[in-house]
Amino acid sequence: MNNVLGINALDTLTNLGVEANAYTTNTYTTYLYECTDNFYEALDEFMDYVQNPYYTEENIEKERGIIEQEISMYDDDPGQAIYMNLMKLLYHNNPVNIDIAGTKESIAKIDENVLYTIYNNFYVPENMAIVACGDFEPEDLLENIKKRITLKPANSKITRVYDEEPDTIVRKQTSRNMEISIPAFMIGYKDKIPDENLVRKELALEILGEIIMGKSSKLFKRLYDEKLITTGLSFNYEYGRTFAHYIIQGISIEPEKVVEEIKNEIEFFKARGISDEDFERTKKKIYGEYVKDFNEPETIASGVLADYFNNINTFSFFEEFDCIRKEDLIDVLKKLFNEEKKAISIIKGNSKEEEDE
């Protein structure tokens, strides 16, 4: 974020009273800032450093050292380890099984030419999106953004090439030992790349997860009463252009037993079905959570951006609430939760050995 004068853009934004940051997901990189004042002054700086990068051997080497430290930190992070281990179980060739930060070996190969090549091909208007959330006049905001955009074509047509990914998983289970007080587990179900109504499917999985293992579920109460868990289970559906999977995770002194209980509960609902009462009650709860998300400008902006890159209109989720039926949940339940496409990642303490199945 340094410019040709050696001035760091973050310092400039901080002096304006602006909080700025950046992050990378499996599918896109985001630069963001939020403020209560000096919005357009911050926009000038923001657009300048995104559109006019300045790479030198010196600033690359400095950043490389920082990233190497981050990679070491991620290697020692149980939360990151359990997730990456699961991705390696689920995917043979898809790059989602590679840590976003890369490796110390891979970042050692990065130089000015590599960065400028990537920048000149991907950091172009046709491959970018801007989301603004706040008290604006939309037309005025759009005009101000247009004034600051540098229109330039990519150096070449962007062609994304991915190795073919089998439908099968790599292995069923892995276990790693790390410095952790309570063992953690993560279950993943590999899904086909979504080509149907993605919004409805995501909603169906949210409602389904809450019914089966949410804090008001019989499963949660049973596990809690037996002291197998002390906090709730979390679950979410992750997807991109080339991958999709459903994740269930939690912590427990007996992770294998909890994993087995979750499996049995899923099979129970497959056989018994879902009651109208559970469906309607949970549907209203999820709807309320969606409405609540619109209280936070940052949450709205990040959500809209993520949906944009998945070709989804964020507001279509509200429309789908009127259309989703109990049958949609049962269909997803039977198709996605396939034991042959399930993998389990566990992190334990004490011993230093790893086990694979």
- pLDDT surpasses 90 at 124: no
Any domain includes 168:
no
pLDDT per position as a tens digit, 96-105: 999 998 899 9
pLDDT in the model for residue 355: 59
Closest CA to 262 of 186, 207, 206, 329: 186
In the block, which residue shows the tokens 């069923």?
172
Average pLDDT over residues 196-204: 90
Element spanning 304, H or E: helix 297-309
Clarify whether residues 61 and 178 are in a common domain.
Answer: no
Whether 230 and 286 share a structural domain: yes
Are 198 and 310 spatial neighbours (Cβ–Cβ below 8 Å)?
yes
pLDDT at 173 over 90: yes
| Same domain as 140, residue 20 | yes
Residue holding tokens 């020692």? 76
CATH number at residue 31: 3.30.830.10
CA distances from 128 to 30, 139, 196 (A): 10, 20, 25
pLDDT at 53: 86
Q: Decide if 258 contacts 184 (C-beta within 8 A).
A: no
Structural domain count, the chain: 2
What tokens were used for 35? Answer: 């403020």
Q: Would 158 be classed as within a structural domain? A: no
Tell whether 181 is covered by a domain: yes
Residue 205 pLDDT grade (very low, low, confident, very high; cuts 50, 70, 90)? very high
- Residue that terminates a domain, selected from 114, 148, 182: 148
Average pLDDT, integer, range 233-239: 96
**Whether residue 210 sits in one domain with residue 68:** no
- Same structural domain for residues 14 and 54? yes
Least confident of 125-139, 169-183, 250-264, 333-347: 125-139
Amino acid at 114: V
Are residues 85 and 139 both part of a single domain? yes
User: What residues pair up with 189 in beta bridges, in sequence order?
Assistant: 246, 342
What is the band of 351 on the pLDDT scale with cuts at 50, 70, 90? low
> Residue 200 falls within a domain, yes or no?
yes
Is 105 inside any structural domain? yes
Query: What does the block give as tokens for 25?
Result: 């997901």
Residue 185 domain boundaries: 173-356
pLDDT at 188: 98
Same domain, 185 and 219: yes
Structural domain contains residue 156: no
For residue range 250-296, list pLDDT tens digits in order: 999 999 999 999 999 999 999 999 999 999 999 999 999 999 989 98
Q: According to the model, what pLDDT value does residue 151 have?
A: 76
The pLDDT of residue 278 is 96
pLDDT in tens, 38-76: 999 999 988 888 888 888 888 899 889 999 999 999 889
- The band of 193, judged by pLDDT with boundaries at 50, 70 and 90, is confident
Task: Judge whether 354 and 181 are in contact, CB under 8 Å.
Answer: no
- Alpha-carbon distance of 251 to 182, in angstroms, equals 6
Q: Are residues 139 and 223 in the same domain?
A: no
202 shares its domain with 280: yes
Q: What is the pLDDT of residues 297-337, one digit of tens each?
A: 999 999 999 999 988 999 999 999 989 999 999 999 999 99
- The pLDDT value recorded for residue 354 is 54
Average pLDDT, the chain: 91
Residues 43 and 135 in one domain: yes
Of 82, 113, 148, which residue is a domain's last?
148
> What pLDDT is attached to residue 3?
61
Do 178 and 322 have their domain in common?
A: yes
pLDDT score of 1: 61
Q: Are residues 116 and 56 in the same domain?
A: yes
Angle at which helix 255-272 crosses helix 198-213, to 10 degrees, equals 110
